[in-house]
Structure 1
């Protein structure tokens, strides 16, 4: 009997948290996986998974990596959060030009399947969305409050347009789809959770903001892995290529208030959850001023903003989406997870110490923080009669 052919997968951005988790899952199922990234994963790479150092901004390197692959997961991106959001040049080069390189290389090398990791943000720019589906139009590019979301939208549109392009080797066409995940969480996540825990431990997380009834969504890393694997399968002939040219919202399917979602993490590490709630408009204004300051002094001192305007909208304005299309066409069924494993992961690394100082001291700090925010906002308001 002829031995079944091993499927070859390339993962751009494969050294990142999600990319590496996806690689390990594919590897356990018998696939051969290549990680294409600027630096190797922080965790030990299992035998059978290959790391290939490369820059997505260099077409020759992308073409070399793509050659011989059966399927490409294009995950690599830049500028999702924090000060990265303010580096417009690098965001453009990685998210737009990098995606163009991947698409071109797939066509040239005869790769028939491509799954693009997009974002909720291609349709969201601060407006309320309740149970939205994939029929929602792209947000007009000029309405995006940040360049990351704008470039991810441009890149997704390019992927959708490229789906159906004839491959240069004459073996068929490129079939591509896009997954739009919510905010990713899970044990070991290195982009958002350490920043949040750092704010907690430094005593900065002393207030929440926005309407307590506002709802957002998150996706556990393993649910997102499952969605990508299902999307890759749905691009194959056995499944009538049903995901080709399609986009899908992916989350845990459980809308929740952003701050309430993180309450188990705060309290699980032994800290008190903030009682002070500030207006969303005030925090947005402070974020705007912070971005302006960063624009002025960033070349000299590239500090980490407490929040950017996009992060304020993403955390404080209701936006959640239907999983109906992903369930019907991909067979996606998100499993239930909580933050307990995340709490234990941080505790195992020495986090969770209670803050020092009396309750009176903490109240004084809260008052000083609020006064500073109000003073900063008022200082930029026009003076009456001037």
Structure 2
């Protein structure tokens, strides 16, 4: 069992959403573990017991120097960009090239036994079609099938990570959360609160019958630690194929699908802007797509490329079913979501109302 203990870990992206929660979970559950973070500073508070390296993941020489100095046993690679509004080259530079920098550094330092990669279920989605109870057996999409830059960059990075498994003394795994929410989640919760504050929380695109799988960030952090310990067990004693973790990808959800628009309205309710059933205004999907098309062109003409608040991509995602199976993670990692959707929403909204009450977007 001693070989499974986390004693010297590096969390890339540890000053940002997913990475911050991984650091917090290790601090809580492994108080003797040496924790280092490689990230650029953000507004999130830092932990006194953690060593921070203020480094851009795209700066290869600095990444190499930091990892040589830290000599980690385990790396949780969570550094990435999430915003769909960023240009394709930004996703490629951070999500793909940043990952390649980390992999190159691990090969040179020689101390890394396990690497856990934060991926996304979007690597199996084309962004235009529904997915129903999707498993890891579905193919990872790359160009030309994958037309969106964020999932493409994550897919290529994941391929590189899994290809590095059992090389240079290191085992690797990829975790693919579904739509992840929680404290410090500016891409989802903060925006939904802003929509509710603006009085638009009653707008619904489509008929509202589409189920969606989400996952609360603390459950994702739990899964990262489970995966790391499973990898450390597998370094010297690979398990039977049906229980294999290294070289594998795992979907993560709350195992509790919600109707997409019920989720958005629960966020509004917890923020103090409850939407009564009779106040819901349904916008047919085709109307939403037309509105988004006009919004995209209007903003493009004015700004020359800036993305509007309403996009066809967003309308599609809010209208189709997106359910993901996490049975493989449950079987092989022992993953069980400890925090329910309802509790996760309540915690997330409370954090934003307290921490960012003056800066929530409208």
TM-score normalized by the length of structure 2? 0.85
CA deviations on 1:355-378 (whole Å, 9 max, x unpaired) are: xxxxxxxxxxxxxxxxxxxxxxxx
* In 1: Cα distance, 2:5 partner to 2:268 partner: 48
| Counterpart position of 2:15 | 15
| Counterpart position of 2:185 | 189
SS of the residue corresponding to residue 148 of structure 1 reads helix
Query: Would the alpha carbon gap of residues 5 and 194 (structure 1) be closer, same or farther in structure 2, given more than 3 Å must change?
Result: closer
Task: In structure 1, list runs of 5 or more residues that go unmatched.
Answer: 353-386
The residue correspondences of 1:303-342 to structure 2 (distance < 5 A) are 305-335=308-338, 336-338=340-342, 339-342=345-348
* In 2: Cα distance, 1:221 partner to 1:258 partner: 18
- The answer to whether the 8 Å contact 1:122/1:138 transfers is yes
Deviation of 1:65 (Å): 2.3
Deviation of 1:180 (Å): 0.6
- The answer to whether the 8 Å contact 1:95/1:155 transfers is yes
Pairs aligned (count): 338
Query: Would the alpha carbon gap of residues 20 and 350 (structure 1) be closer, same or farther in structure 2, given more than 3 Å must change?
Result: closer
* In 2: Cα distance, 1:25 partner to 1:153 partner: 26
* In 1: Cα distance, 2:118 partner to 2:248 partner: 12
| Counterpart position of 2:95 | 95
* In 2: Cα distance, 1:96 partner to 1:294 partner: 29
Query: Would the alpha carbon gap of residues 272 and 156 (structure 1) be closer, same or farther in structure 2, given more than 3 Å must change?
Result: same
Query: Would the alpha carbon gap of residues 175 and 78 (structure 1) be closer, same or farther in structure 2, given more than 3 Å must change?
Result: same
RMSD, aligned CA: 2.5
* Greater RCO, 1 or 2 (C-alpha within 8 Å, sep 6+): 2
- The answer to whether the 8 Å contact 1:66/1:72 transfers is no
* In 2: Cα distance, 1:307 partner to 1:215 partner: 21
Task: Return the match for 2:173 from 161, 174, 177.
Answer: 177
Following TM superposition, the consecutive aligned residue runs of length 4 or more in structure 1 with deviations greater than 6 angstroms are none
| Counterpart position of 2:72 | 69
Name the larger-Rg structure.
Answer: 1
Task: Return the match for 2:211 from 187, 211, 215.
Answer: 215
SS of the residue corresponding to residue 141 of structure 1 reads coil
- The answer to whether the 8 Å contact 2:131/2:324 transfers is yes
